[in-house]
Amino acid sequence: MTRWVVIFRDTADMLAVRTSQVLRDAHVAYAKKHPELLIGGGLKLNPDEEFCGALWVVEAAEKSEVEELVANDPFYFPAHRTFEIFTWGKLLEDQTATL
């Protein structure tokens, strides 16, 4: 398996999506159904600012699997969110991180 990092960049209009409790609940339920999504969360430039994107760490054999995971996420609106996918190798591979 390969580890992948997905970096999402949001437009200002994505904030309206984020405030929808229905979409947020669907997004969280979707993430829980996909154990290959190891960790994820929103990004802010500073703690007191609005969200401007997100980050996921995904474990999958192929990049196309990650693309499909993104495309089917209820929080993915191509008009409001772009993304890049990178392969990722963990420094200190022998250590476990708990967040």
Mean pLDDT by 10 residues, the chain (99 residues): 96 93 96 96 96 97 98 96 93 73
Q: How far is CA 3 from CA 57, 63, 81, 85, in A?
A: 7, 10, 22, 10
Q: pLDDT value at position 93?
A: 75
Give 50's DSSP letter: P
CATH domain 2-87 topology: Alpha-Beta Plaits (3.30.70)
Per the structure block, which two tokens stand in for 36? 């290959």
Q: pLDDT value at position 99?
A: 65
Q: pTM for the full model?
A: 0.90
Q: pLDDT value at position 96?
A: 75
Return the C-alpha torsion angle 80, 84, 89, 49, nearest 10.
Answer: -30
Per the structure block, which two tokens stand in for 74? 């209820």
